[in-house]
């Protein structure tokens, strides 16, 4: 009787390890297969600053539907964060073998705050007419697996301002 209970406990532990391990491998595979495409454009420029529009497209090439938290977007110049989006607790379903375009995210960059935090960015924009930024897209897959993508983006037409 003691032997049979030990066998059942051992079999249950092996089954839990197997299914838990396969679940973690599946999540890891989803993380490597999920693709995000981030495009940033200048929406408008006025005396107060620059308003940027960020378009995020999530692509799911896998055979299973996934839940993704609304992405958090952070813009970095050099080593400093110059702007970030709002954090939203919203789930987005990306069906299998499909793409989802998210609502555009708007971020305002005030010239005064840019001039005090990253004056080299303003100088670069005046000289070249371009902004070279690093954009981090951060989200979570199925409420458990972190996902981050980093893009180097150049904004502007290249004409000195």
- Output the furthest CA–CA distance in the chain (Å, rounded): 85
The CA-atom distances, in angstroms, between 26 and each of 12, 62, 63, 100 are 21, 10, 11, 21
SS3 assignment for 20-65: HHHHHHHHHHHHHHCEEEEEEEEEEECCCEEEEEEEEEEEECCCCC
Which pair of tokens denotes residue 28? 């890891």
Average pLDDT, the chain: 80
| Residue 145 binned pLDDT confidence (cut-offs 50, 70, 90) | confident
Residue whose structure tokens are 């009787």: 1
- What digits encode the pLDDT tens for the residues 19-71? 555 554 455 555 557 788 888 888 888 888 888 898 999 888 887 788 889 99
């Amino acid at each position: 009787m003691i032997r049979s209970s030990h066998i059942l406990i051992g079999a249950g532990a092996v089954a839990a390890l197997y299914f838990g391990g396969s679940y973690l491998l599946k999540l890891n595979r989803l993380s490597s297969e999920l693709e995000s495409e981030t495009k940033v454009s200048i929406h408008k420029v006025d005396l107060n600053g620059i308003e940027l529009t960020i378009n995020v497209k999530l692509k799911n090439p896998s055979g299973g539907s996934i839940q993704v938290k609304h992405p958090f977007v952070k813009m970095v110049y050099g080593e400093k964060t110059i702007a970030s989006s709002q954090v939203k607790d919203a789930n987005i379903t990306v069906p299998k073998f499909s793409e989802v375009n998210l609502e555009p995210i708007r971020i305002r960059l005030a010239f005064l705050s840019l001039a005090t935090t990253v004056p080299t960015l303003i100088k670069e924009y005046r000289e070249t007419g371009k902004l070279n930024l690093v954009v981090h897209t951060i989200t979570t897959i199925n409420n458990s697996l972190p996902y981050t993508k980093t893009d180097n983006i150049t904004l502007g037409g290249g004409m000195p301002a």
